[in-house]
Amino acid sequence: MASIFSRIVAGELPAYKVAEDDQHLAFLDITPLVEGHTLVIPKREVDYIFDLPAEELAALHLFAQRVAIGVAAAVPCKRIGVAVIGLEVPHAHIHLIPMNKVSDMNFANPKIKVAEDRMKELAAAIAAQVPLAAGETSRKSASLDSKGSRETTEANEPATTEASADGATAQLQQLTQGLVFMSESDAPLEPVSYPAPSGELTDATLLKLLGEPADTKVEAKELTVFLRNHTADQGVLGDPAQANRFKALQMFMKQELQDTKVYRVGSGPQVKAYALGKTEDGKLAGFKTVLTET
C-alpha cells in the first residue's frame, strides 16, 4: 500500500507544497511543532532514509538545503532545525523546523493547529523564497503556486535614509528587490529605514521625518488593504510568482515590525506611499513607492 506521502506525490491527497523538482517534494507538516514546520521527501518511496543510494541521499539533502533557505527567509527564527525520525510514516523524510529555542525541536511537545488561510500564506511565502537550483529558470508548478522564478532585476538604488545593515533592513532589501507597485503607472518598491520618534508617530512627526511640508496631506491605511491587489492569487499582473513575493513581504512586515501601516503622503496625480513599522532596535523600517492617480 502506498504511503501517505506517495499519495501526495501522486496528487491523490492535497498538501501545502513549497518546493518541487523531478525527484523531490517539500510541503508543510499539517501537525506542526511550530509554524513553518516543513517536510522534505524523495518522490521515490523508500522507507528508511539511509537505504537511499549515496547519490540520492546527497541530492535529497541538497534539495532540503534550498528549502531551508526559503523557510528561514519567510519565517522569523534563529535557526532551521533538522531532524530525521523515521517512525511516523514509512517514507523517508526530513523535518525542517524554524526554531528560536532548543525546545522547539522537542517532538514530545503538543502539536499546534494552524488555520488553513495561515497555512496557505506560509506555503506561498516560503515558496517565494526558495532559491532555484543551478540551471533552473523556473520552478516546477505545484499547488498553492509554489513555483516562481527568482527575479534577476538589478537591486533598487538604496533609499536616502540612514539605512543600515541590520537584519530587518537587509531582509527588506531582499524582499523588495525587483518588485513594482502597479497603479496607473508602475513604480519600484525601495527599502527605507529612519530613526523612530520617541513618542507616538503623529502626522506632524512623520512629515518632519520625511522632510515634507507641515501642511502635506497624510492618510494611513492597513498594509493588507494597500497590497490586496498585489497579493491576490494571480496578482495584479497575473503572475503567481510575483503575488507570492508580495505575500512574503507582507507577512514579514506584519510579523517582524510593530504597528505597521502605510502612509499616503501628498495628493494626486502622484502620491508617495511609505509602508513603515517599528523594529526591535528602535527604528522605522519598511518600503516606499509612488502611486499615480489622475
- How high is the pLDDT of residue 140? 52
* Cell 532596535 belongs to residue: 281
pLDDT tens track for 6-26: 989 998 888 999 999 999 999
Please name every residue paired with 40 in a beta bridge, in sequence order, or none if there are none. Answer: 26, 94
- How high is the pLDDT of residue 294? 67
- How high is the pLDDT of residue 237? 64
Whether the per-residue pLDDT at 162 is higher than 80: the answer is no
The answer to whether the CB of 52 falls within 8 A of the CB of 7 is no
Provide the 10 A C-beta neighbour count for residue 2. 13
Interval 185-192 mean pLDDT:
89
Whether the per-residue pLDDT at 157 is higher than 80: the answer is no
- Domain residue spans in the chain? 4-129, 167-292
Q: Using alpha carbons, select from 23, 4, 20 the residue that is nearest to residue 12.
A: 4
The answer to whether the CB of 70 falls within 8 A of the CB of 18 is yes
Q: Give the whole-number percent of the chain exceeding pLDDT 70.
A: 86
Strand order in the sheet with 38-42: 17-20, 24-28, 38-42, 94-99, 79-83
Q: Using alpha carbons, select from 148, 155, 154, 142 the residue that is nearest to residue 129.
A: 148
Q: How far apart are CA 206 and CA 218, in angstroms?
A: 9
Q: Which letter does DSSP use for residue 259 in this model?
A: E
Give this prediction's pTM: 0.52
Q: Which letter does DSSP use for residue 184 in this model?
A: S
Instruction: Tell the CATH topology of 4-129.
Output: HIT family, subunit A (3.30.428)
Interval 98-121 mean pLDDT:
91
Q: Which of 48-52, 175-179, 244-248 has the highest mean pLDDT?
A: 48-52
Q: How far apart are CA 168 and CA 281, in angstroms?
A: 10
Q: Which three cell numbers stand for residue 29?
A: 507538516
What architecture is domain 167-292?
A: 3-Layer(aba) Sandwich (3.40)
Instruction: Return the beta strands (E) in the chain as ranges.
Output: 17-20, 24-28, 38-42, 79-83, 94-99, 180-182, 186-188, 190-195, 218-221, 258-265, 270-278, 283-292
Is residue 93 annotated as a catalytic residue, yes or no?
yes
Provide the 10 A C-beta neighbour count for residue 268. 10
Do 4-129 and 167-292 show the same overall fold? no
- How high is the pLDDT of residue 234? 61
Catalytic residue among 24, 37, 91, 93: 93
Interval 104-111 mean pLDDT:
92
Q: How far apart are CA 118 and CA 120, in angstroms?
A: 5
Whether the per-residue pLDDT at 132 is higher than 90: the answer is no
